[in-house]
Structure 1
Amino acid sequence: MSTERLTWHGQHKKTLDRGARAADVMRNKMGSWPFVGAFLAIMAVWAVLNTVGLDRALHWDPYPFILLNLFLSMLAGLQGAILLIAAKRQDAISAALAQHDYDTDVAAKAVIGLLMEVNNRQLEMIMDLRLLVTALHDERSGNPAPAAQ
């Protein structure tokens, strides 16, 4: 059994269903430079093989690359849906974090209020002690006691 403390993000991630986790993974992969580089490399290889391939059999999608355009259109449609799912997930995460912050602020306000009450009681006690010490000092030195304030 692990004794490490689970962060809020870790707890939240445990509540996600498989689709939400998959959307997060795809968003993180598709929104990265390695993905962009691999995507451009695949497009370049596709274009080169279909344009200047040594064998006519390699020209499975000759210029103007209609099959490639179909795949890119399907990819764009999927990316749009994935980005919307990821944005919706990010909104949910932001709302949960905001609620967590609000709950923390409310708890902190209650603790601060309690501490202020304790502080005010301490100040009153200090003032009472000060008056007692002053009265005791005046009584021992023979000075008349000051009028109560």
Structure 2
Amino acid sequence: MTDENKTWHQEHKDSLTKGQRAADLMRNGMGSGPFVGGFIGFMIIWAAVNTLVLASKAWDPYPYILLNLFLSMLAGLQGAILLIAAKRQDAIAGAMAQHDYDTNLKAEKEIQALMTINRQQLEILAELKAMGATPRS
């Protein structure tokens, strides 16, 4: 794809840093059904192993304090990632709004030029009509 054929969205996507791409991937992953389902499954397995399988030698017996610690750390990390992603989304929305504004200004100039041409054509038509209405001698 040549630079001339690139859309604004493709140019923006190409300009992302590795960190920004990673934040987008993590945000998209954490907001998905498979992630939520997998995490619920992980917690069920954790509780089953610590309650049933390792009843006498559980590394994290009920009320699962270690699991709560991991969940708290995950929540803190997810909050930070979501804030980063929201900040990036705001920047994208601002850039898109500026692009739309620039496009609208360009379109307005082109419309004004077309209106000027239209007025000139109407004047020429009026002159031609006036010339055709004058009696010939």
**TM-score relative to the length of structure 2:** 0.93
1:61 is the counterpart of 2:60: yes
Superposed CA offset, 1:117-137 (max 9, x none): 0000000000000000111xx
How far apart, CA to CA, are the structure 2 residues paired with 1:67 and 1:82? 23
Q: Give the match for residue 33 of structure 2.
A: 33
Q: Give the match for residue 139 of structure 1.
A: 136
- Amino acid in structure 2 at the alignment position of 1:43: M
Q: Give the match for residue 144 of structure 1.
A: none
> Any gaps of 5 or more consecutive residues in structure 1?
141-149
How far apart, CA to CA, are the structure 2 residues paired with 1:55 and 1:81? 36
Paired residue secondary structure (1:16): coil
- Amino acid in structure 1 at the alignment position of 2:129: R
Deviation of residue 55 (structure 1)? 6.7
Alignment of 1:113-128 (within 5 A): 113-128=112-127
- Amino acid in structure 1 at the alignment position of 2:49: L
Rate the CA distance shift 1:13–1:38 in 2: closer, same or farther, 3 A.
Answer: same
Paired residue secondary structure (1:114): helix
Runs (4+) off by over 2 Å = 2-7, 54-57
How large is the Cα RMSD of the aligned pairs? 1.6
> Any gaps of 5 or more consecutive residues in structure 2?
none
Deviation of residue 17 (structure 1)? 1.4
Greater relative CO, 1 or 2 (CA 8 Å, sep 6+): 2
1:8 is the counterpart of 2:5: no
Equivalenced residues, count:
136
Rate the CA distance shift 1:67–1:24 in 2: closer, same or farther, 3 A.
Answer: same
Q: Give the match for residue 130 of structure 1.
A: 129
- Amino acid in structure 2 at the alignment position of 1:89: R
